[in-house]
Every structure is written in C-alpha cells, then in structure tokens.
C-alpha cells in the first residue's frame, strides 16, 4: 500500500450509502439528487450515442463544443473570458479535475492551505502528490473565514490555497470581503489558488456566487473547477472542467492525460447543449426548488432538537447533535437503527477533529415526500 494513502480507507460516502441500502434507510448522506436532470439534457445524451458522437475517444482536452460552451457560460454569468483551446480542460467530474490539479501543480513537501471542513478528495489528492495540507478552520454558526488564521497558516513552503464556495459541507458562501482577503494573501505570497465551484448555481436567499478569478489580479493565478453533476442533476455522468491561464492549465492537462486520458464522450455533447440553451428560468427554478427543500428539512431538524446552521448554498445542511448524542460519528452510525435515516458525520472533513465532533451533514436534494418522511422519522428521536 502506498504510504501516502495510509490514512485513507473507504470513503465516508461509500460507507454511508452502503449502510442506507443495508438498513433500508432514507439516504440523506451522499449528495446526489433522487430525480435526474432536465429531460432535454437526458435526451440529447441518448441522441449523441445514437448519432455516433463521442462513442470513441474524444479529444484529450474535451470536445470543442463543450469547451466553447463552458467558456460561453463563464462569460455570460461572470464576465470572465477563457480561451476554449488554451484555457479550458474537460475532466471526469470535478473529482478528476481536483486530482489532476494537485498532481500537476504540487511538489513533494509543498504545503496546501485548505479551509476545513473540506471535501474528502482534497486531503487524499494532496497526499498523492506528496504535499502536506494545512487546515484553516471555519467555525459555526456562520463558518466564515478568519483572515488572521489564514495569514498565520502561510509558511515559506506554502504553494497553494484551496477553497470551495459554495462550501460543502457547511453551505457557507464566501463573501466579496472574504475573497478579497484570500486574494491579498495569494498575491502577497505569490500563491496559486484552486477554487472548487461545483455548487456555483446552488445559492439561496441573497447569497451570490462570486468567482475568485473575477477579483483584481487573480485570474492568472487561479485554477477554477466546476462540474455538470450538481448544476444539471446528473452526478453519474462525471463531466467536469478546469479553467486556468495556460501555464497552470498545461500542468493540469499533463497530469489528466495519465489519469483517465478522456471520458464521457456523448455526455460532453449533451452538457454542451445544456450550458448553451438553459437560461435564467432553469437556474431560478433550481434555486427555488432547493430553497423549499432546505426550508422543509431545516424546520424538521429544528423541531427534532437539532441545532441547524442555515446554509446559504449547496444542497447540504450542517446540524449540531450535541443535545442528541455523544458525538456525530456515533450518532450517524446509530441513526439508521434508531430511525431509518442516514447522514454524514462532518468530523471526517476535519483535521482538527474536536472542531467538527458534534456536527453532521444532511443532503436535501431529495423529493419533497422523501424529505417529509425523513423529518417524520427524525421527530421520533428525542
Ligand atoms: N467538489 C465538491 C465540493 C463536491 O461536493 C463534489 C461532489 N460531491 C465534487 C467536488 C466532485 O464533483 P464530481 O461529481 O463532478 O466529480
Ligand atoms: N459530492 C458528494 C457529497 O459530498 C458525493 C461525493 C462522492 O460520493 N464521492 O456527498
């Protein structure tokens, strides 16, 4: 076994989804919608297969149609220009984008500052690159960035800042002021920033997603990552993308070639169509729908005795179970037998285990009747 992977076993998502199946529980653990994305999108993938589009190896950087569509989307939504040929790379989901970014840009011994709690593949891929993660902890209730803690985490070995907004698992959305602190630190210490924006369209209330690359001086030192999985409710398709200036993108592309080489040919055409054709109605509908689901689950959790930290983005709710159990890990292992619901113990997303010990994460990207049944079951906890 590779020593760098010694601390990594089965992912918490696989463990908890298997537990949900084995116990017949409602799975609010792993984040995936229980209804598939727009019919036009699904149909166009089937059409691409029938038309022989992408059934053989697509081009290494991704099909030109999709790279152009990603560029068009980035321009329309945020006013950012990327050259589809030199600055956009299609990957096997954001997961491969993250791995290729770490493997392409890091050297052994480099330090990566990541905001914790963090998505599990960050830790593993930083380790695969032989680099070291340095956590900066986001604290409840708002999980906002402590700029002083960020500054204190920088050392001469720091090479990269890794951020994620909207943030899994807390649902926090970085404000312009927080992004400005990140930009200032990156510029002062000449760091690359990797920004995982897979939940870019899942923001609620008055929250706005601001790509870090839009801040002055940041475009050319930022690697931006997104994916079709969350936006279009097709997490099984694994179509993601990386946007960065040529010197950074070249390094990521080199690593990506030897991970999957290419993937998902027909799906690339379908996602290109969705990016080009779905407009404001689609994005507003997605938000409104998820806002209702968030409110339904938040109210149910609150009534059941959880302390709920209202998310401003993503499709996750973080809740504190201090009044209901000794710790979140025990709570999540017992929850299926106690009431037939599965959740994720947030402690797995922390290096500072104490900071996340009593926190758990629930996914609300489920049909309303499923959420209502989950809430009914959770109400029996007490
Ligand atoms: N980053 C974050 C923050 C995520 O939550 C996820 C998916 N759960 C990913 C990356 C991976 O995205 P994909 O499914 O496109 O590989
Ligand atoms: N991104 C999803 C989550 O956070 C699932 C990821 C996975 O299963 N690897 O739940």
Q: Given the CA of residue 30, which atom of ligand 2 is nearest to it? A: 10
The answer to whether 16 and 30 are in contact (CB under 8 A) is yes
Q: Ligand 2: which residue has its CA nearest to atom 4?
A: 31
Mutate to test the pocket of ligand 1, among 14, 94, 114, 117 (most ligand atoms within 8 A of CB): 94
CATH code assigned at 333: 3.90.1150.10
State whether 134 and 204 are in the same domain: yes
Q: Which residues line ligand 2 (CB under 6 A)?
A: 11, 13, 30-31, 168
Residue 360 to residue 16: CA distance in whole angstroms: 12
- Looking at 245, 277, 309, the residue that finishes a domain is 277
State whether 163 and 61 are in the same domain: yes
Residue 285 to residue 122: CA distance in whole angstroms: 31
State whether 11 and 159 are in the same domain: no
The answer to whether 358 and 330 are in contact (CB under 8 A) is no
Residue 107 belongs to a domain:
yes
Residue 45 belongs to a domain:
no
Nearest ligand to residue 11 Cα: 2
Task: State the distance from the centre of ligand 2 to the C-alpha of 217, rounded, in angstroms.
Answer: 32
Q: Ligand 2: which residue has its CA nearest to atom 1?
A: 31
Q: Nearest 5°: phi and psi at 118?
A: -130, 155
* Model pTM score: 0.97
Host H or E run for residue 189: helix 176-189
Provide the 3-class DSSP secondary structure of residue 181: helix
- Looking at 211, 246, 277, the residue that finishes a domain is 277
Q: Given the CA of residue 96, which atom of ligand 1 is nearest to it? A: 16
State whether 287 and 266 are in the same domain: no
Q: Ligand 1: which residue has its CA nearest to atom 10?
A: 94
Residue 173 belongs to a domain:
yes
State whether 233 and 333 are in the same domain: no
Q: Ligand 2: which residue has its CA nearest to atom 3?
A: 31
> Which residue from 128, 4, 62, 87 is spatially nearest to 260, judged by alpha carbons?
62
Nearest ligand to residue 314 Cα: 1
The dihedral through the CA atoms of 302, 358, 139, 348 has a sign that is negative
State whether 263 and 359 are in the same domain: no
Predicted confidence at residue 89, as pLDDT, reads 98
Q: Which residues line ligand 1 (CB under 6 A)?
A: 31, 93-95, 119, 164, 168, 196, 198, 227, 229, 235, 238, 240
The answer to whether 36 and 233 are in contact (CB under 8 A) is yes
State whether 174 and 77 are in the same domain: yes
Residue 120 to residue 11: CA distance in whole angstroms: 8
Residue 213 belongs to a domain:
yes
Range of the domain at 77: 56-277
State whether 97 and 119 are in the same domain: yes
Predicted confidence at residue 3, as pLDDT, reads 87
Host H or E run for residue 372: helix 368-378
Predicted confidence at residue 123, as pLDDT, reads 97
State whether 145 and 251 are in the same domain: yes
The answer to whether 341 and 378 are in contact (CB under 8 A) is yes
Residue 144 to residue 175: CA distance in whole angstroms: 9
Q: Given the CA of residue 13, which atom of ligand 2 is nearest to it? A: 8
> Which residue from 229, 112, 99, 116 is spatially nearest to 167, judged by alpha carbons?
116
CATH code assigned at 166: 3.40.640.10
Name all contacts of 11-17 with Cβ < 8 Å and 24+ positions apart: 11/120, 12/120, 12/344, 12/345, 12/348, 13/120, 13/344, 16/332, 16/342, 16/343, 16/344, 17/342
Provide the 3-class DSSP secondary structure of residue 347: helix
Residue 53 to residue 103: CA distance in whole angstroms: 30
pLDDT tens string for the chain (382 positions)? 888 898 898 899 999 999 999 999 999 999 999 999 999 999 999 999 999 999 999 999 999 999 999 999 999 999 999 999 999 999 999 999 999 999 999 999 999 999 999 999 999 999 999 999 999 999 999 999 999 999 999 999 999 999 999 999 999 999 999 999 999 999 999 999 999 999 999 999 999 999 999 999 999 999 999 999 999 999 999 999 999 999 999 999 999 999 999 999 999 999 999 999 999 999 999 999 999 999 999 999 999 999 999 999 999 999 999 989 999 999 999 999 999 999 999 999 999 999 999 999 999 999 999 999 999 999 999 7
Mutate to test the pocket of ligand 2, among 27, 227, 235 (most ligand atoms within 8 A of CB): 235
Task: State the distance from the centre of ligand 1 to the C-alpha of 371, rounded, in angstroms.
Answer: 22
Q: Given the CA of residue 95, which atom of ligand 2 is nearest to it? A: 9
Predicted confidence at residue 157, as pLDDT, reads 98
Residue 40 belongs to a domain:
no
Residue 51 belongs to a domain:
no
Q: Given the CA of residue 230, which atom of ligand 2 is nearest to it? A: 1
Residue 61 to residue 380: CA distance in whole angstroms: 51
Mutate to test the pocket of ligand 1, among 227, 263, 264 (most ligand atoms within 8 A of CB): 227
State whether 78 and 224 are in the same domain: yes
Predicted confidence at residue 131, as pLDDT, reads 98
For 288, half-sphere exposure in the C-beta direction (CA atoms, 13 angstrom radius) is: 6
State whether 147 and 267 are in the same domain: yes
Residue 205 belongs to a domain:
yes
Residue 166 belongs to a domain:
yes
Task: State the distance from the centre of ligand 1 to the C-alpha of 175, rounded, in angstroms.
Answer: 21
Q: What is the number of domains present in the chain?
A: 2
- Looking at 256, 277, 298, the residue that finishes a domain is 277
State whether 9 and 151 are in the same domain: no
Nearest ligand to residue 168 Cα: 1
Residue 148 to residue 104: CA distance in whole angstroms: 29
């Amino acid at each position: 076994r590779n020593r760098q992977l010694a601390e990594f076993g089965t992912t918490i998502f696989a463990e908890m989804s298997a537990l949900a199946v084995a116990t017949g529980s409602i799975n609010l653990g792993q984040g995936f919608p229980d209804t598939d994305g727009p019919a036009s999108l699904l149909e166009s993938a089937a059409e691409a297969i029938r038309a022989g589009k992408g059934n053989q190896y697509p081009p290494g950087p991704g099909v030109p149609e999709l790279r152009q569509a990603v560029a068009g989307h980035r321009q329309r939504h945020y006013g950012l220009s990327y050259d589809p040929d030199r600055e956009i790379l299609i990957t096997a989901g954001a997961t491969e984008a993250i791995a290729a970014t770490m493997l392409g840009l890091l050297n052994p011994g480099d330090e990566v500052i990541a905001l914790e709690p963090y998505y599990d593949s960050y830790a593993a891929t930083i380790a695969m690159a032989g680099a070291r993660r340095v956590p900066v902890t986001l604290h409840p209730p708002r999980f906002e960035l402590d700029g002083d803690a960020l500054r204190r985490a920088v050392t001469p070995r720091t090479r990269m800042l890794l951020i994620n907004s909207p943030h899994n698992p807390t649902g926090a959305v970085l404000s312009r002021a927080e992004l400005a602190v990140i930009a200032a630190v990156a510029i002062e210490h000449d760091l690359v920033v990797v920004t995982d924006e897979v939940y870019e369209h899942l923001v609620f209330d008055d929250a706005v997603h601001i790509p870090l690359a839009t801040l002055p001086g940041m475009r050319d030192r930022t690697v931006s990552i997104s994916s079709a999985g969350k936006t279009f409710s097709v997490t099984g398709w694994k179509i993601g993308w990386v946007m960065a200036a040529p010197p950074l993108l070249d390094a990521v592309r080199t690593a990506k070639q030897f991970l999957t080489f290419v993937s998902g040919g027909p799906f690339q055409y379908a996602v290109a169509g969705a990016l080009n054709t779905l407009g404001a109605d689609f994005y507003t509908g997605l938000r409104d729908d998820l806002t209702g689901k968030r409110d339904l689950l938040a109210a149910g959790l609150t009534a059941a005795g959880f302390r709920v930290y209202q998310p401003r983005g993503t499709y996750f709710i973080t809740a504190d179970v201090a009044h209901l159990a000794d710790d979140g890990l025990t709570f999540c292992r017992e929850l299926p037998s106690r009431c037939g619901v599965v959740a994720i113990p947030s402690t797995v997303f922390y290096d500072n285990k104490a900071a996340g010990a009593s926190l758990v994460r629930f996914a609300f990207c489920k049909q309303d009747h499923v959420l209502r049944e989950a809430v009914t079951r959770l109400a029996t906890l007490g």
